[in-house]
Each structure stands twice: as structure tokens, then as C-alpha cells.
Structure 1
């Protein structure tokens, strides 16, 4: 099973998912026209399958198997983060470029390789001898002096990607006006469906940056819920605010605040943190986690000590969430990781430590059940959802939900 999960994590999902802002107009034709343009660049007649999974979720599948490109004679080295972004359908932006041959000319076809060893020196002119992985082919849009010789951090698109090795379409939100659509992993969209924000509800988003799930909750409530979004630093809060403005959302208040201390025993109104006990109808705890569900994973340097640290933070956040939640209120917990400690065992800890918290089905149940033999009964496993490659007779899962990222969702009611 470990080998299966490791292989799955190293692969790129077979589709790109966008969340659609239901507060704004959306025309799927714009996306299809963009893909039509790409099909001409690639010399193929068909475009990838494109469809609405729900009214707020757009799915675009990868190009068919017969869409391939011959390798070029020039190889460009990019850092691992850039390589991952390319495999997910992004262009190569200037800061990610590490090495570019001196012979490369503008608008020339180049092959892009990720530096798996993380040893390539920025500005390298000779061929890189470390481990590298081919991630796609595109057209060079910046020269060496623009990337390495001007003494400042370069910006802009350095390589206009034609086809990633994953065959995902090269696509982003810029096809539509800002705030109309958002690149978002499918399980992250499912979190919003599980919480199901409604008008006039008081909702706390505890670890909200960059605000993608926050905006989804606001849009689901038709911009009529009362949402508080917290994160630790002003920088993160500014990013949330920018996201809210782009999406045309006015029902969210943001505060730079440590959510571990978001409650107080004093009485008062829900104006600013810390909040009185039993204040919120719903709480979203999209917890800081080890992030080991992200795909593709080309390299990972997380240590056992770092892995062990997350559960302690998550438990503190749970304690605060439970205090801030009203009786009969709903708490949704999610992570983008695959570890038992941060997922099933965290749910088991909550149920043991807080008998007033009742586990309920995290509907719509689209991911698989929780893992067996890690603290949850079969009855409890069927209530949570784990997104991954596992097959479990407790619940069959559609392929689209098995082929996104590793993710976990649980839902509780406070009694």
C-alpha cells in the first residue's frame, strides 16, 4: 500500500479544477475558445473534455494520449516548485528559472526540466549534471540578461508553455475577469459543500489565508452570511482582503489573530477576537498540516520532528474551535495531508477528549472512507472522507475524486 500511495503522490492529477464565483456571470464558452486556440498551437483537432461538475465547479481534463511533442535541443532547468506548477498547467515564471543555455534565442522551443536534487546554481551556463526531470516544452520569452544579469528579482513569464509532460492544458484564471473563477483543488471545493454556508449564519474561518475557502463560503451564502476570517499575520490578512475584493464579497470581516486564543470567557458581541464562548453557528478548521497530499510531489525534505509538530497545533486549534462553537453548531475539519496522525487519529482524539462533540457524515460523501485500524470504527470511518488512491468496500468512489490530491474532511456537531 505504501508503494501505491508513493507512486500516486508522484503523479499529476488527470484534470484541472476551477471554482466558479456564483456571484458573477460565467460563460464556459470562453474556456472552450481558449482551449481551441491551444489545440491549433499543438496541431490537434480535439480539445480536452470540459464540464461543470456542479454550478460552482469546472473540470478540465488533460489532452489525449496521442498529443505529444518532440523534444527540442535546448534544456532549461527550473526549481522544484516551478516544475510542479508547470506539471499542473502553469507557464514558467522568471523567478523559477535556474539555468539557461547561452545558445537559446527568443521564441525558440525549449524543454523544461525540474532540479530534483535542488543543487543547480542560478545562472548556470553549462549543462546541469544533477538529477532532473522533464516537465514540458514551451517557447522562450526572456533572455539570460533579463533573468540573471540585471541585479533585481526578475518577473513575468520566462517560458510560454506549450505542453506539460502531464498533458494538462496550460490554463489559469486570467481567461476571465479577476474574481470570476479560481484555480482550486477539487477536495478543497468539497470542503465548502460540506460546511454549506447559508445566509445569516455566523461562521468562523480559523486559518483562512489565502482566503480561497473563505470566498467559497461567502459565495455559497449569496454574500449574506456573517463570516469572520482569522490568520496570524497582517501579511496573510492582506492577502485574504485582496481575495475578497476580487470576488466582490462584503460579508466577511478579517482580523490578524492567533486562532488558538480566539475565545474568551467574557460576555459580549461577535465583533472582534477574542469571541465569547458559543458564538458561531459553524466553524471551519482548515488546519495547518504537513501538506503531504499535494500532487505531484517531486521532492520532500520534511523531517520526522516536523511531522510530529503538527498534531499539537491542530489539537490547540480544535480546543479553541469547540469553545467558540455554539451548542448544536457544526465544525468542519480538513487537511491536505495523508498522515493518520493528522486525520483519523485526530478525529479519534477529539471524540475521546470531547464527548460533547458528535461525529456526523461529512456530506456530500465524495471521497473514500477513513483508513481502518487507526482509531475509528467502521461506523465512524464511513462518516469521514479521505481523498486518495485507496479502494475500500465501505464506499465506492468515482474516479474524479480519487485522482485529485490527498485530502481529509471530518464533520462534527457540538452537543
Structure 2
């Protein structure tokens, strides 16, 4: 699971105060959550319209599969959330001697419902033809050389059974230009719906539930000025904008024009019009002589700030192999503290600050909160949403939509005098 075994020692306790063994953690993180979450694009659709259209999309997708479509239902607390409950891990075995190897990134996407596209395929048998039955595996450690034609003996994970949509020479020929679906799986080791943007278009946004919760805990109001400090690809940005009903302004920062491009694309797709996306290093976003219009900003101009901080991402699922080193892991808290200190300077007095990460380490979560309360003019606040305290740590421990998620941490603060 972890290339550096010392990383495991940094994993903090779960929400239930139980301690994962390394094997437990490996199992929990190797597979995605059984529950897929979509946030309804309330700018364009009602919940009722969304659930009807989503059912049609899912039923069409599952025509190619050997299992029934997932159940779709409303989340009991969050009115803009639909839950898709799949079967989860299935007791499948390889059916074919035709072994196809995909890279780890492709394998992780497949476990979350994606198709197998040609660029992700790194190995397959000689003479593979269209419609041949195949069994597909992910190369966990990246040891399979592209074009490999024999049985791969390295560490691999079985993904499912399906049929080839292309010939081998199209995958590894001199042109290497083919980009469509290479293998279509009809049996998957983990049942998860395919929810890429081409399928759902402007209907909804695929998000892990904790990411949706983080925006709700910010409790944005119509007409406010809100900052999303590390915003790409724009899931939380567009959610905040929709909660504000396209009023006021959401300033979305990220370091590169490429990342800002993702935010703008998602805003355009979803019909969000109140976002100002700017390529800027958020650690340098404050200047006492700054502007109220563009970064660096003057102090105390934002009503609310979301800091979904860069982190070690150890809570993400699925992870087939994690290359994080303990040395690299320990660089994150310094960056998170810089961002937190900058956020406080930009936040109005009594304004709300939500800090979140998608990781499981104490140094990036609980220790960071302790540091902030000791060094910055902040107090923890309990959100008005029922069932949530000032901070919580979600981890994949129980089989329901609220806890079978990625590992995630959220803390809520108000700025004091």
C-alpha cells in the first residue's frame, strides 16, 4: 500500500476512535466507496428533474453490465445531494487467458466506474482482436513496459472481465493515435457507475460527500464576497456559487492558468456566472496595501473563506499504491500554516473560515487546528447544520453513505477581535 512504511505511522485515529491496522487501511483505501455522490446543479435543475434524468443515464450505462443499476435516492440532510448505492466489491474471478494490463491510474479510474480507454492499456496478448474475451488487471507499481505481450508477473490487481474493442496493432502501432475505448468490461470486481462529464453534462457534479459537506458548512449567503483559496478544479467553487444562487462574488484562486482553466470550464458547463477565477499563489494573496479587486488583496474584505488545503491526500480512494515518502509528508503542515495565516488576514471579523483536507494525518488535521487556535485570532464554531460539530474526521469505516467515503477532515472557525 505505502512505498514508505513510515507513512502509516502518521495516520491518525478514525472517527470511531478505532485504530486501523495496516492491512485494514490497505483494504479500505484499495477500493472506492460503495456509494457514489452527485451534487445536483440547482442552477439549472430541480432534485426531481435530476433524479429522473440520472436514472435514465444510469440505466443506459448498465445495459452493458451483468448487474442491476444502483439505487438512487435523496440524501436525508443535504437537499442538493443524490446518493447512488451500488453493490460494491463482487466475488469475480478471471475468465480468460487473454490478460490485458492497464496502468495504475487507469485501474483506479476503472474501480470508480470509468471505461478503459486505449492510452491506459500498457500490455495485452499478441494477436489480440476485436471482440476477444479478456481479463483486465492493473499494474500497481508501474513495472509493466508498454507493449508487453506476455503474462505479467509483477504485482497486479484484477479489475474485471470484458471484450476488446480494438486490435493489438492499433494500441501499439507506430501511429499510437487511437484514443477511444479499448476494452469494455461487462463484469467488474467493484460495481460503480460511470459518471464522467460527457455522460452527466450540466445535470450534476460528481463529488465525494465530504467535499459537498465542506461547502455547506461554510454556510454562504446570497450577495456575499467569498474566497476559495485553492479552488481547482472548481467543485467546491461552483457549489458555493450555486448556494449563493449566482449572486455576490466567489473569488477562486489557484496557482496556474491550467488549473484556472478547469474552474472556468466547470463554471461554463454548470451555468455559474458569479465566479472570478484568478491564477495566483494563495500564500501571497494578502498585502496590507493590496486591492479589493484583485490579488494581492487588502485585509478583511471577504465574508467567508474556504481553505481546502493542499495535503498528502492519504484519504483518497481508491489507491492501488502510494509513493508518498515520510519526508515529503512532513512538508505539508508548513504550507497549510502559511495559507491559514493568510486566510485570517483576508477574512472579515466574525467571518467564517472552513479548513479541510482529504488526508488522515494528525499533523495536517488536529495538530493544524491546535496551532491555529493558539496563534491566530480564531475560535471554533458549531455549524447550524444538524449533526455536525465544529470539526469532524470522516474515514471509511462503516457501510453507509455518510461514512463509507474518502478520508476527510473539516474544521470550522470564526474570526474574533
TM-score by length of 1: 0.88
Q: CA deviation at 1:363?
A: 5.3
- C-alpha change, 1:7 and 1:363, in structure 2 (3 Å) is farther
Q: Is 1:358 paired with 2:368? A: no
In structure 2, the partner of 1:400 is 401
SS at match of 2:330: helix
What is the Cα-based RMSD across aligned positions, in Å?
A: 2.2
Is 1:383 the equivalent of 2:403? no
> Paired residue for 2:32, among 4, 9, 12?
12
Partner of 1:85: 109
Deviates more, 1:229-238 or 1:29-38: 29-38
Unaligned ranges ≥5, structure 2: 1-18
Separation in structure 1 between the aligned mates of residue 399 and residue 20 of structure 2, nearest angstrom = 22
CA deviation after TM superposition for structure 1 residue 81, in Å? 1.0
Partner of 2:191, secondary structure, is: coil
In structure 2, the CA distance between the partners of 1:120 and 1:359, relative to structure 1 (3 Å rule), is same
Deviation at 1:154, TM superposition (A): 4.2
1:409 and 1:325 map into 2 onto residues whose CA distance is 18
* Alpha-carbon contact 1:362-1:409 (below 8 Å) kept: no
C-alpha displacement at 1:101, in angstroms?
1.1
> For residues 334 and 291 of structure 1, do their structure 2 counterparts lie closer, same or farther at Cα, with a shift above 3 Å needed?
same
Structure 2 CA distance, aligned partners of 1:106 and 1:311?
Answer: 50
Distance 1:212 1:174 in 2: 16
1:331 partnered with 2:332: no
CA 1:398 to 1:195, structure 2 compared with 1: closer, same or farther past 3 Å? farther
Per-residue CA shift, 1:90-149, capped at 9, x if unaligned? 111222111011232213332210112310001111111111110122332222232222
Partner of 2:4: none
Kindly report structure 1 stretches of 4+ aligned residues shifted beyond 6 Å: 64-67
Alignment CA distance shift 1:316-1:169 (3 Å): same
Correspondence list, 1:47-62, <5 A: 47-53=69-75, 54-62=78-86
In structure 2, the partner of 1:163 is 187
Find the aligned partners of 1:238 and 1:170 in 2 and give their Cα distance: 24
| Equivalent residue, structure 2, for 1:144 | 168
- How far has the Cα of 1:295 moved from its partner? 1.1
The aligned counterpart of 1:377 is none
CA shift at 1:88, angstroms? 0.9
Q: What is the deviation of 1:162? A: 2.4
Q: How big is each residue's C-alpha offset from its partner over 1:359-387, in whole Å with a ceiling of 9 and x where there is no partner? A: 112553667xxxxxxxxxxxxxx521111
Where in structure 2 are the equivalents of 1:12-51 lying within 5 Å?
12-25=32-45, 26-43=49-66, 46-51=68-73
Give SS of 1:83's match.
helix
Distance in structure 2 (CA, Å) of the matches to 1:30 and 1:14: 21
* In 2: Cα distance, 1:274 partner to 1:204 partner: 13
How many angstroms apart in 1 are the aligned matches of 2:383 and 2:178?
A: 45
TM-score (norm 2): 0.88
Counterpart check, 1:265 vs 2:292:
no
Partners in 1 of 2:62 and 2:251 — Cα distance? 44
Per-residue deviation, 1:213: 0.8
* Displacement of 1:151: 3.8
Q: How does 1:5-404 map to 2 (within 5 A)?
A: 5-25=25-45, 26-43=49-66, 46-53=68-75, 54-63=78-87, 71-152=95-176, 154-176=178-200, 178-266=201-289, 268=291, 270-354=292-376, 356-362=377-383, 364=385, 382-389=389-396, 399-404=400-405
CA deviation vs aligned residue, 1:312-365 (integer Å, no higher than 9, x gap): 1101101110000000101001101000010011000100111x2001125536
Whether contact under 8 Å (1:366, 1:385) holds in the other structure is: no
Q: Structure 1 pair 109/198, CA: closer, same or farther in 2 (3 Å)?
A: farther
Matched, 1:2 2:23: no
Does the CA contact (< 8 Å) of 1:31 and 1:175 recur in 2? no
Aligned-partner Cα distance in 1 for 2:58–2:189? 17
Q: CA deviation at 1:245?
A: 1.0
